[in-house]
């Protein structure tokens, strides 16, 4: 078994530790923000952490109403620009806490009067020391170059940050995420067998919408770095605005399809993909009663054996992103094995990447 696969399987426990051990810190941060509400949130990250930030943007804007921007680190590192960040909260996300450009963004933001927050897996890192407030991913040491448990740990931290910023997220609901993540892992054998079909896959598209848009980026990244597949990532809307022209019969398309407001636009895309006979794989869960009614799919949906949709004031699919990325991670690990590649040591990559 690869270290990547082993770390994928560690995620229910890692997420549970993160949510339990960081809840009090999030509660204290909530008290701080009640006295010092930010007018703007800026998220700074690279790589997998940047994909987690994409999720954070959707979650925070949807649940708190505070505008969120994704930082362009080059604005600081190459152009030496000075931004007005007074009354803003700047959040740096880094697995190692040693990303040079991400830390520089936080340092400049602090000097400009921003509230600074770090999300990292390393309590003793430069990032943790630099930030005024930290939320720690409690994933344990991640040995595989391909990040898995730190990505979902960062997503868990964004739920905690949303709570700190006033979002109506309940601790008892968040504590069910590890259980749903464990349910997603039950698809491991099915995914391993399906991966053989894609042994010679050289290109693919990964598609999500809304809260699962970030997962399309992360799935594509895992296919690129562990399987050397040229994988493009899109929202369903952006794919239909032109890039769908490159798809043809048997072109692999992987879709995140939770119930809720994103289901209808994803269905419209599925109809288009069926018309051109693309190789379409859907990731969904038991609460999506409509997924089984789709006719003409070459393969049955990958259905997480748990009902994740929640009725109430929050979006139905608010808790799906962590469980939904598990089948994607398992698929990348399985495809690498089928291709006789080592997903733990992708060529030309190191665990910690430092850029300016």
Alpha carbons within 13 angstroms on the beta-carbon side of residue 110 total: 17
Helix (H) / strand (E) element for 207: namely strand 203-208
Per-residue confidence (pLDDT) for residue 293, from 0 to 100: 62
Burial class (CB in 10 A: 0-12, 13-18, 19+), 118: buried
As a whole number of angstroms, the distance between CA 110 and CA 126 comes to 14
Helix (H) / strand (E) element for 109: namely helix 100-111
Rg of the chain's alpha carbons, rounded to an integer?
20
Burial class (CB in 10 A: 0-12, 13-18, 19+), 316: buried
CATH 3.40.50.10490 domain range(s) in the chain: 3-175, 178-338
Per-residue confidence (pLDDT) for residue 350, from 0 to 100: 62
As a whole number of angstroms, the distance between CA 31 and CA 25 comes to 10
Helix (H) / strand (E) element for 280: namely strand 279-285
346 φ, ψ to 5°?
A: -60, 145
Q: Answer yes or no: are the C-beta atoms of 83 and 74 closer than 8 Å.
A: no
Per-residue confidence (pLDDT) for residue 290, from 0 to 100: 79
Helix (H) / strand (E) element for 136: namely strand 133-136
Per-residue confidence (pLDDT) for residue 235, from 0 to 100: 95
The single residue listed with the structure tokens 């799919």 is 297
Nearest of 256, 258, 262, 322 to residue 288 by alpha carbon: 258
Nearest of 28, 45, 44 to residue 36 by alpha carbon: 28
Q: In what order do the strands lie in the sheet with 203-208?
A: 230-235, 203-208, 252-256, 279-285, 302-304
Q: Which residues contact 16 (CB under 8 A, 6 or more apart)?
A: 175, 178
For the chain, which residues score pLDDT lower than 70? Answer: 292-293, 295-296, 348-356
As a whole number of angstroms, the distance between CA 102 and CA 81 comes to 15
DSSP designation for 254: E
Q: What is the CATH number of domain 3-175?
A: 3.40.50.10490
As a whole number of angstroms, the distance between CA 149 and CA 145 comes to 11
- The CATH H-level (homologous superfamily) assignment of domain 178-338 is Glucose-6-phosphate isomerase like protein; domain 1 (3.40.50.10490)
């Amino acid at each position: 078994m690869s270290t990547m696969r082993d770390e994928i399987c560690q995620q229910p426990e890692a997420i549970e530790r993160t949510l339990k051990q960081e809840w009090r810190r999030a509660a204290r941060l909530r008290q701080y923000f009640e006295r010092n509400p930010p007018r703007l949130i800026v998220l700074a990250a690279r790589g997998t952490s940047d994909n987690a930030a994409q999720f954070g943007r959707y979650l925070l804007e949807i649940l708190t109403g505070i505008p969120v921007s994704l930082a362009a680190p080059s604005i600081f590192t190459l152009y030496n620009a000075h931004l007005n960040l007074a009354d803003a909260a700047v959040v740096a996300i880094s697995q190692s806490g040693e990303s040079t450009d991400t830390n520089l963004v936080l340092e400049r933001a602090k000097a400009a009067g921003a509230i600074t927050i770090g999300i990292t897996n390393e309590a003793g890192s430069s990032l943790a020391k630099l930030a005024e407030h930290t939320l720690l991913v409690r994933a344990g040491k991640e040995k595989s170059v391909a990040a898995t448990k730190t990505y979902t740990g960062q997503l868990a931290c964004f739920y905690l940050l949303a709570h700190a910023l006033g979002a109506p997220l309940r601790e008892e609901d968040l504590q069910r995420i590890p259980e749903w993540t464990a349910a997603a892992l039950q698809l491991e054998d099915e995914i391993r067998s399906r991966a053989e079909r894609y042994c010679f896959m050289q290109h693919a598209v990964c598609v999500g919408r809304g809260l699962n848009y970030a997962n399309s980026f992360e799935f594509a990244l895992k296919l690129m770095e562990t399987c050397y597949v040229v994988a493009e990532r899109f929202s369903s809307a952006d794919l239909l605005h032109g890039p769908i022209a490159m798809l043809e019969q048997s072109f692999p398309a992987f879709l995140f399809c939770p119930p809720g407001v994103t289901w209808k636009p994803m269905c419209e895309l599925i109809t288009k993909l069926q018309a051109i006979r693309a190789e379409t794989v859907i990731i969904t869960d038991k609460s999506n009663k409509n997924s089984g009614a789709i006719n003409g799919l070459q393969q049955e949906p990958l259905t997480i054996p748990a009902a994740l949709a929640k009725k109430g004031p929050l979006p139905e699919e608010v808790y799906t992103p962590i469980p939904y990325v598990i089948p994607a991670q398992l698929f990348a690990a399985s495809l690498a094995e089928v291709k006789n590649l080592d997903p733990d040591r992708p060529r030309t990559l190191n665990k910690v990447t430092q850029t300016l």
